[in-house]
Structure 1
Amino acid sequence: MSDTRIDYSKTLYLPQTNFPMRAGLPQREPLLVERWEQINLYKKLREQSKDRPLYVLHDGPPYANGNIHIGHALNKILKDVITRSFQMRGYNSNYVPGWDCHGLPIEWKIEEKYRAAGKNKDEVPINEFRKECREFATSWIKIQSEEFKRLAILGDFENPYTTMNFHAEARIAGELLKFATSGQLYRGSKPVMWSVVERTALAEAEVEYHDVESDMIWVKFPVLGVNALAWGNAEKSFSDIQDLSGAFVVIWTTTPWTIPGNRAVAYSPRIEYGLYEVTAAENDFGPRPGEKLIFADKLAAECFAKAKLEFKRLRTVSAEELAGLTLVHPLKGFGGGYEFTVPLIAGEHVTDDAGTGFVHTAPSHGREDFEAWMDHARELEARGIDTAIPFPVDDAGFYTKDAPGFGPDREGGPARVIDDNGKKGDANEAVIKQLIAHDRLFARGRLKHSYPHSWRSKKPVIFRNTPQWFVYMDKDLGDGTTLRSRALKAIDETRFVPPAGQTRLRAMIEARPDWVLSRQRAWGVPICVFVDEDGNILQDEAVNKRILDAFEVEGADAWFAEGARERFLGERANEPWIQVRDILDVWFDSGSTHTFTLEDRPDLKWPADIYLEGSDQHRGWFHSSLLESCGTRGRAPYDTVITHGFTMDEQGKKMSKSLGNTVTPQDVIKESGADILRLWVMTTDYWEDQRLGKSIIQTNIDAYRKLRNTIRWMLGTLAHDEGENLPHAELPELERLMLHRLAELDEVVRSGYDAFDFKRIARALIDFMNVELSAFYFDVRKDALYCDAPSSKRRKAALQTVRAIFDHLTTWLAPMLPFTMEEAWLERYPQALSVHAEQFRVVPAEWRDDVLAEKWRKVRAVRRVVTGALELERADKRIGSSLEAAPVVYISDKSLSDSLAGLDFSEICITSGITIREGEAPEGAFTLPEVKGVGVVPARATGKKCARSWRYTEDVGSDPEFPDVSARDAEALRELKALGRLEA
């Protein structure tokens, strides 16, 4: 007779763990960050892996200006996952964070502070101003470091790189001098994007586009005559095209203020043009009946309608005729400065998609205009045309003397394109007024279109011709290559993830003009060269050495210190060398970071294995790093370029404070934890733009909860693990199946990390945990794990398998969810240093068993039919637990019935009994259309319910010592009693 006081629940091997179901990540994660710092995990990993091959992801430097945003979080998490995954696969994967510290954003903040205090920046010594900029950047580096560490980013935060470090400034200056001494650097005059508000040139990467409404005008250029030289036919004469006498070529522009800078009109030989005559006019100004005008045929009707004119087409005007025409400037007779001839030139950029088919060409105000003008320079000079490019607009947006009548000679002072606040000035109206006065305006209107703005001030920029420092893209570098050809070759030799990045960067390099390096600001590394009045650079190694030695000790401030010219020139100080005061574009700074990190740090290597940034960096950091390295070293500083997209809100809209749709990493961490944010990054397609919002965060919280509970169950179960290992061949089929699945997943995980396809890994592991572990293997094995005797081989095999699953899953997931996996690992192995000091577990070859997997694919197919039938029974309340069932399974497919041979199928289906019958199922049996040849007839289990395992068996009561349990459970109780583990 059994002791009725036995509490059978205490005789079960139920899960026991301190790993909580409720994660409490916002409170628990900071404790783990603190632990990692206390044990100096970063340093220990370096010591542990010092003899392994280096794997280096070079950090694209964020700007030291403000709290991190969701883009920073996405970027840093991706980098951290990569470095951790390689560290756990046999590499010394050292991550060194870095910061961009120079440039206008910081300078602008200090100027704002000055303005608020009524202080004039120009009255402050430059090095005092630079000191404040340095202190500002330093403060934000400290803040951002803590924010990154809170995301579980593991790196050398004690020794990061910064572009304002004295050694870094010396190296950046040294790279600039390499371009100078190799003849690649030159002072030139080209139209650049210019911020009037910020008084500096801007790179393409510093510009964003916003819709604006602009004036648009159609302007008439009178035909002056014919140029036989341009025609290439001396027999031709103006009489052959006398019907063009008095006609006008019409252009269209959205920048009326550029008309004073006009020097040519471009046409295309591919476009069909016609001569048109006005037959009626309803407008207050512009063409009158009888006027003849030349338009692209495709655009003529639209243009005449805009001017409220009726017209007729007279004839076709050929490209040969256009090439022979010269025009009159539309402002001739005004200001005394527009008396020159305006040639017609062919241009590849001319289309008939919009406008008139002719392009107003002002080489001072546009890149294509400049290039078209320079392409024709020799031909134009042969025709006696002055090809000098004027400077019609100054750095403050005012017209200069090169815009006669609108500049300093104008009554009331010069007209202005844009004012200090980024507002439209009076230049457009001044020009339009004069065009009307000279009867040169065909029509006018307003147009909403996309226009470049400074991404810092958010104010529109202008294109203006100004002296700047450039690096040649197409100059022979002495070995038959050019900077452009080197860069294109390097792109072809680089791996791009996703591959589309290669096409994008290649297109940018193919089309880009010479590289503008100069900025007219104070906070940055100077263009530390001396020049003569013609812009020729002093080539003196001794001078360059003095500059770099000083920068190494004092930083770039040395260039701006009193007496710097004399100090650096030394005995040449009496020569008329001019000290350049411009600073380098910050993209040159960041593009040079590979020199003072990858090359100069012994714990890194050059080139980097990976550069990873947002897709905007094809025109930014990827681009500038490529050009800098190709110009000085002949190849890219990276082997692989990985690109991520941008984070939008849940509706796919750009996040902005004004819309109130921003998601900050700080808020997500505070409410849910950093691992939730990391899980979102891991489950999204980061190569494209991603979406984030409350519902998406909640989806990831739900997925995390399931994942955590699976980990928790394993930890609880493994509390009873004594570490025994059975030979693989002695393991039950079900355990061997799960180890086979680990072998398959090992390939998915490793190849996924190699391909940087984290979504594929996360999806595979989450599905495995939810579908194959929680809903199948763990469910099936709970009875054996909880109820079997201590000596049970089946129970030991299951523990051995759960142990293997835990070790593989936690290490595989550690790069993705470093907080949770660390917590789990330390719960399982309290004496361990860290899960992040582990390696991915090696999968024995014997685990892979494709034949077994195919067999169990069939077993599980039959099981699905059984569980489907039982779900209906439960829903109709004919049974409660599946252990109350003992269904009859009919199988007409022999391959399916053969797969069940030797298996306890009732255990696999978690029923108390099951009957397998070969043949067709009777009518009314439960079937699934996707599993042919299987039918299930539900039936209730017979026998008695075991008080311990709750299974219904015929042998309950067969053991007199324990009459209310099954024979299996009685034997387990006897063993427990012998071991002193049976509690009364």
Structure 2
Amino acid sequence: MNYKDTLHLPKTDFPMKADLVTREPERLKIWEEQGLYGQIQDTRKDAPLFVLHDGPPFANGDVHMGTALNKVLKDLIVKSKTMAGFRAPFVPGWDCHGLPIEFKVVKESRGLSPVEVRRKSEEYARKFIDIQRGQFKRLGVFGTWADPYLTLAHGYEAEIIRAFAKFVEKGLVYQSKKPVYWSTGAQTALAEAEVEYADRTDPAIYVKFPLVTGDLAGKANMVIWTTTPWTLPANVAIAVSAKQEYVLVTLGRDGWAEDFFVARPLLESFTREAELQVYGEVATVTGEQLAGLEAQHPFLDRKSRIITADFVTMDSGTGQVHVAPGHGADDYIAGKQHGLPILSPVDDAGKLTEEAGMPAWTGKYVFDANADVVAHLRSIKALLGEQKYLHSYPHCWRSKTPVVFRAVEQFFIKIDALRADALKAIDGVTWLPHWGRNRIYGTVESRPDWCISRQRTWGVPLPVFYDASGQPILDAALARKVADLVDQHGTNLWFEKNDAEWAQMLGLPAGTTRRSDTLDVWIDSGVSHTAVTAKRPELGGSPIADVYIEATDQHRGWFQSSLMTSIALYGQAPYKSVITHGFVVDKDSRKKVSKSEQGTYAKPMNAEHFVGKYGADIVRLWASSVDYQNEVPFSEESFKGLTDAYRSFRNILRILLANLFDFDSAQHAVEFRPLGETGGVAAWTRGPSGEAIRGTIIDRWVLSRLQEVTETCRKAYAEYDFRKVFQTLNQFVTVDISALYVDITKDRLYCDAANSPRRRVTQTVMARVLDSLARLLAPILVFTADEAWQFAGRKTSVHLEQFPEPDAVLRDTALEAQMEQLLGLRGKIGQAVEGARAEKLIGNALEGAVTLQIADQSLYDQLNGREAELEELFILSDLTIAVGGENSARVIRTTRQKCARCWRHRKDVGARPAHPELCERCADVVEDVAKKTVVS
């Protein structure tokens, strides 16, 4: 007889080769045809609601790995909450207006009218919405993809304007001329979140300002230090520190000398850098004593008043700060406090205007004008020193040009009116990681008033009209009327109709005008709690979401704009919890992976590349395996390593399925429970006919470990610790199941009679492991888990299921502790077997006669008489246990004969004359197979 034909070798059609790139789209198509997302919502319709509100990605460019990480993390949360028993709908959205799209459109087509710019911008946005939607779906992200929220939708735009009306109604909006971040490349004001920093070298100069009032008029000088020479035409004051000591010293070089006031702590560094000699001290005063004096502007017919200010520090310079209220936030505040004029002789393109008072510089780009200013100061002997100064300088995130601070008429929201409530609300939110609280608290605490007007075309119009005298009409009722029209016709109406038509539509007096300014796009996404969370029925009708999760830059972006608008509208935060994830950075350059940066990389960073090469489940596995709360280094090389982890998961799913080929849970499953007073939790099982079956230690240990793994994973999912889920399942699969349970039980599965109690126990355990593993893996390996579920004979998707519940009856910590001891003994045996193999005593462990010495008497007492069970556990043929000394193992060659079917060396090989090559167990199975063959 061919004994191989009598073995119960594993069988399954579940392929070891994943071929995810081909199979995933096929499964995705089935899900869409079946309406799986809708089925999930239906099955959870009566469950408690959990809302993760999607921070909208910008509708330009392909999905890169940073965006993929964000969206997969959101999907892991939503799927795990669904499987934890919640109703967790996901409404994806897109941020559609704004500078990047407009910048791209205008760059490609010059000379477009505002209406044409808007039409092309919408086409561009919708194109990338479709592209990104397909890429997100391909990643296995579930949601209302057919009905997302778009900030360009008429209804959404109307809600933005209604929110603005509410701000006006509460007296939060005002118009003022004050310095804002200004992009000379994009010719618009910028939000703080649209500013990035890059190193830049500028001239750092020391400039003389002669005193013209007071006792020292014409006898002494002030001296300022600045890294922005181009702002000197706007200088109106010099700030000093009130309590600081200023020394009047005689300074000079090459036979020239004059008297200058310098802050004493900076005298040494100033004279060194300016290469000046100190010839003596004349007097000492405080900053307070200097305040009120006036100095002559070095090249304009203007006086510069000396004032005191808290922002003057002793870090660098001279302790005297050049003040231009039209070109800096601190300068502006000081200027308002002291009644100083606000000068800003710079146009939209960043060029000096005639107001600078220097005709030769008119039309010069401010940063090019630096050289002219320095040269002129030198020629009039007002330049005391010059250096090249490398510093971190703000740049426009889109045009990459350096930002200027420029005073222009803009509309603002009063942050001071919201700040206290916002700070209080921050402390009512759960921040993960905890440092997120300090980061947003600090930004809100120090935030100036919010500039909400933009000189752009592609955005929601600022719904403000102007009377015949040019004064703004800030009217909430009027803004609401605009919102109602926008609800019907969209915001293009603002640009398509002229002033007279708008005045007629709204019943305004003739001569009423409007302008083309748009609202800051951070208001667009910032009011999504009102336009989406509170409006979509499936999200429960409340503006408060359970969770927001975005990258770390959103503490000064969407997290903050959402908070401030929610405080203004509702007096509370729009989220209960906020999760921050780090940036995905190139492993080698450490550059952030983003739409604006990815063109600089020689290597691919688009998610589509990795999905197309490895499959979405590998990308999802990567997202679950990283420490997302910190910076996430990324490279294709490190990404490849995840394929091994994926292969481990797939392989164990396949092994489990293959070993269950003849298992019918309805007929063969064994129920695990304690039996009366027999003792030992889950120490026994009942077979299908009610007979008691003694479970072996390895079965009971795996069941106990499964409960621990289930509990750990459920808790980790609840705490958004996906890395812990990955690590826990990876350890369980590779060590507990693959290296131990599957290996140890292989003999009984293959060689026992098909319906033997211990074989059915093993299959029952494996069925439970497969069931739990598929469900616990489902949020991560969204395609693979569903595929395995299908091959397990399930008729519906695994994504309709809930997580397994840990069974306290099956958890046995004492047993787990004992198993740890046994695994230690197994290691001792392994070492001894390897030594015997090296000495050529045996070829493999089954050929050895092993004597195991156990030091612990109590452990020996528990194991004595259970040698057969231990032989299976240690995968041996011939084991003797003894007590005493220390734990050790000795191996000689066994004298027992080898069974030709199971390859174990047994005492009873040849005991059955009809089967001289077989052990008793194998002889029974072979005879049973022979009988069934004859009958059939």
Same fold (TM over 0.5): yes
Confirm whether residue 645 of structure 1 aligns to residue 582 of structure 2: yes
Q: SS of the counterpart of 1:871? A: helix
Alignment of 1:505-516 (within 5 A): 505-516=440-451
Distance 1:622-1:982 versus aligned 2 partners, 3 A rule? farther
Task: Write the distance in 2 (CA, Å) between the matches of 1:38 and 1:492.
Answer: 45
Task: Write the distance in 2 (CA, Å) between the matches of 1:809 and 1:614.
Answer: 30
Quote the offset at 1:699 in angstroms: 1.3
Larger deviation, residues 60-69 vs 891-900: 891-900
Match of 2:679 in 1: none
Task: Write the distance in 2 (CA, Å) between the matches of 1:784 and 1:519.
Answer: 75
Q: SS of the counterpart of 1:887? A: strand
1:744 to 697, 702, 708: 708
Match of 2:119 in 1: 131
Alignment of 1:820-969 (within 5 A): 820-829=784-793, 831-874=794-837, 877-901=840-864, 903=866, 904-920=869-885, 933-969=886-922
Task: Write the distance in 2 (CA, Å) between the matches of 1:827 and 1:621.
Answer: 43
Q: What is the CA RMSD across the aligned residues, in angstroms? A: 2.2
Confirm whether residue 768 of structure 1 aligns to residue 763 of structure 2: no
Q: SS of the counterpart of 1:224? A: coil
Match of 1:717 in 2: 659
Distance 1:556-1:970 versus aligned 2 partners, 3 A rule? same
Quote the offset at 1:970 in angstroms: 1.6
Match of 1:222 in 2: 210
Q: Quick check: 2:203–2:387 contact (8 Å CA) kept in 1?
A: yes
1:396 to 339, 349, 371: 349
1:777-796 alpha-carbon deviations (Å, 9 max, x no partner): 11111111111112321111
Match of 1:306 in 2: 273
Q: SS of the counterpart of 1:613? A: strand
Q: Could you tell me which amino acid in structure 1 is paired with residue 335 of structure 2?
A: W
Q: Quick check: 2:165–2:476 contact (8 Å CA) kept in 1?
A: no
Match of 1:925 in 2: none
Q: Could you tell me which amino acid in structure 1 is paired with residue 714 of structure 2?
A: R
Task: Write the distance in 1 (CA, Å) between the matches of 2:763 and 2:399.
Answer: 63
Match of 1:373 in 2: 335
Quote the offset at 1:312 in angstroms: 4.1
Q: Could you tell me which amino acid in structure 2 is paired with residue 253 of structure 1?
A: T
Q: Could you tell me which amino acid in structure 2 is paired with residue 727 of structure 1?
A: F
Q: Quick check: 2:325–2:341 contact (8 Å CA) kept in 1?
A: no
Match of 2:753 in 1: 789
1:194 to 182, 185, 207: 182
Task: Write the distance in 2 (CA, Å) between the matches of 1:795 and 1:982.
Answer: 24
Distance 1:820-1:568 versus aligned 2 partners, 3 A rule? farther
Alignment of 1:495-644 (within 5 A): 495-532=430-467, 533=469, 535-539=471-475, 541=477, 543-563=478-498, 566-567=501-502, 570=505, 572-574=507-509, 577-605=512-540, 606=542, 607-644=544-581
Q: SS of the counterpart of 2:330? A: helix
Q: Quick check: 1:330–1:440 contact (8 Å CA) kept in 2?
A: no
Q: Quick check: 2:775–2:802 contact (8 Å CA) kept in 1?
A: yes
Task: Write the distance in 2 (CA, Å) between the matches of 1:582 and 1:812.
Answer: 51
Match of 1:363 in 2: 325
Task: Write the distance in 2 (CA, Å) between the matches of 1:898 and 1:298.
Answer: 81
Identity of matched residues, %: 39
1:931-960 alpha-carbon deviations (Å, 9 max, x no partner): xx3111122233111111110001111123
Match of 1:924 in 2: none
Task: Write the distance in 1 (CA, Å) between the matches of 2:462 and 2:562.
Answer: 18
Distance 1:835-1:175 versus aligned 2 partners, 3 A rule? same
1:676 to 618, 622, 628: 618
Q: Quick check: 2:101–2:121 contact (8 Å CA) kept in 1?
A: yes
Q: Could you tell me which amino acid in structure 2 is paired with residue 144 of structure 1?
A: Q
Distance 1:711-1:344 versus aligned 2 partners, 3 A rule? same
Task: Write the distance in 2 (CA, Å) between the matches of 1:896 and 1:565.
Answer: 96
Q: SS of the counterpart of 2:775? A: helix
Q: Quick check: 2:211–2:296 contact (8 Å CA) kept in 1?
A: no
Quote the offset at 1:901 in angstroms: 4.2
Match of 1:926 in 2: none
Quote the offset at 1:875 in angstroms: 5.1
Q: Quick check: 1:194–1:200 contact (8 Å CA) kept in 2?
A: yes
Task: Write the distance in 1 (CA, Å) between the matches of 2:377 and 2:253.
Answer: 21
Give unmatched runs, 5+ long, in structure 2.
675-683, 686-694
Q: Quick check: 1:546–1:568 contact (8 Å CA) kept in 2?
A: no
1:675-731 alpha-carbon deviations (Å, 9 max, x no partner): 111111111101111112132112111121122111111111111222122332324
Q: SS of the counterpart of 1:914? A: strand
Quote the offset at 1:540 in angstroms: 5.9
Q: SS of the counterpart of 1:155? A: coil
Quote the offset at 1:573 in angstroms: 2.4
Task: Write the distance in 2 (CA, Å) between the matches of 1:874 and 1:515.
Answer: 77
TM-score with structure 1 length normalisation?
0.88
Q: Quick check: 1:945–1:951 contact (8 Å CA) kept in 2?
A: yes
Give unmatched runs, 5+ long, in structure 1.
1-5, 227-237, 282-287, 381-385, 419-423, 475-481, 921-932
Quote the offset at 1:307 in angstroms: 2.4
Q: Could you tell me which amino acid in structure 2 is paired with residue 546 of structure 1?
A: K
Q: Quick check: 1:858–1:899 contact (8 Å CA) kept in 2?
A: no
Match of 2:307 in 1: 344
Task: Write the distance in 2 (CA, Å) between the matches of 1:872 and 1:707.
Answer: 33
Q: Quick check: 1:215–1:447 contact (8 Å CA) kept in 2?
A: yes
Task: Write the distance in 2 (CA, Å) between the matches of 1:23 and 1:874.
Answer: 37
Q: Quick check: 1:271–1:351 contact (8 Å CA) kept in 2?
A: no
Q: Could you tell me which amino acid in structure 2 is paired with residue 145 of structure 1?
A: R
Q: Quick check: 2:105–2:121 contact (8 Å CA) kept in 1?
A: yes
Q: Could you tell me which amino acid in structure 1 is paired with residue 341 of structure 2?
A: A
1:253 to 223, 226, 237: 226
Q: SS of the counterpart of 2:893? A: coil
Quote the offset at 1:248 in angstroms: 2.1
Confirm whether residue 99 of structure 1 aligns to residue 94 of structure 2: yes
1:747-786 alpha-carbon deviations (Å, 9 max, x no partner): 2111111111111111111011111111111111111111
Distance 1:321-1:438 versus aligned 2 partners, 3 A rule? farther
Quote the offset at 1:158 in angstroms: 0.4
Match of 2:782 in 1: 818
Q: Quick check: 1:587–1:624 contact (8 Å CA) kept in 2?
A: yes
Q: Quick check: 2:841–2:892 contact (8 Å CA) kept in 1?
A: no
Q: Quick check: 1:676–1:701 contact (8 Å CA) kept in 2?
A: yes
Q: Quick check: 2:62–2:606 contact (8 Å CA) kept in 1?
A: no
Q: Quick check: 1:942–1:953 contact (8 Å CA) kept in 2?
A: no
Number of aligned pairs? 904
Q: SS of the counterpart of 1:763? A: helix
Q: SS of the counterpart of 2:577? A: strand
1:404-432 alpha-carbon deviations (Å, 9 max, x no partner): 22xxxx15x714235xxxxx43x223322
Q: Quick check: 2:235–2:304 contact (8 Å CA) kept in 1?
A: no
Task: Write the distance in 2 (CA, Å) between the matches of 1:35 and 1:981.
Answer: 45
Confirm whether residue 173 of structure 1 aligns to residue 161 of structure 2: yes
Distance 1:485-1:267 versus aligned 2 partners, 3 A rule? same
Task: Write the distance in 1 (CA, Å) between the matches of 2:529 and 2:127.
Answer: 24
Match of 1:230 in 2: none
Q: Could you tell me which amino acid in structure 1 is paired with residue 653 of structure 2?
A: I
Q: SS of the counterpart of 1:225? A: coil
Match of 1:295 in 2: 262
Task: Write the distance in 2 (CA, Å) between the matches of 1:495 and 1:460.
Answer: 37
Match of 1:494 in 2: 429
Task: Write the distance in 1 (CA, Å) between the matches of 2:293 and 2:898.
Answer: 106
Quote the offset at 1:321 in angstroms: 4.9
Q: Could you tell me which amino acid in structure 2 is paired with residue 176 of structure 1?
A: F
Quote the offset at 1:568 in angstroms: 5.3
Task: Write the distance in 2 (CA, Å) between the matches of 1:604 and 1:567.
Answer: 36
Q: Quick check: 1:17–1:715 contact (8 Å CA) kept in 2?
A: yes
Q: Quick check: 2:75–2:141 contact (8 Å CA) kept in 1?
A: yes
Quote the offset at 1:980 in angstroms: 4.1
Task: Write the distance in 2 (CA, Å) between the matches of 1:160 and 1:981.
Answer: 65
1:7-49 alpha-carbon deviations (Å, 9 max, x no partner): 2222222211111112111111111111111111111111121
Match of 1:754 in 2: 718
Match of 1:280 in 2: 253
